[in-house]
Amino acid sequence: MKLFSRYQGKQSSATYTGEPVTAKVGSLILRECTALTSLPEGLDVSFLDIAGCTRLESWPQTAAVHIGRLNARGCVRLQSLR
């Protein structure tokens, strides 16, 4: 799966393989990524947009959204943000 992030106006991308990730990024926008079923452990962001990720089912135990905001509108399978 291809992940895109934007930090200080610069966009970068990476392919998520399912391996644990320890990454701190400013903004991570995964909007309408219907193939997304989980987020990586160690996710650390200021802004996370997962709106419309209809297959997303679980929130990682070690994920954090600091300072900014989380948009999870339409994530109908997501049961909790532990």
**pLDDT band at residue 7 under the 50/70/90 scheme:** very low
Average model confidence (pLDDT) across the chain: 79
Token output for 2: 């291809």
Kindly write down the DSSP assignment for every residue of the chain, as one continuous string: -EEEEEETTEEEEEE--SS---EEEEEEE-TT-TT--B--TTEEEEEEE-TT-TT--B--TT-EEEEEEEE-TT-TT-----
Q: Is the pLDDT of residue 15 over 90?
A: no
What does the domain layout of the chain look like in residue ranges? Answer: 2-71
Question: What does the pLDDT read at residue 49?
Answer: 95
Nearest to 38 by CA among 24, 17, 23: 17
pLDDT in tens, 65-81: 888 899 999 999 998 88
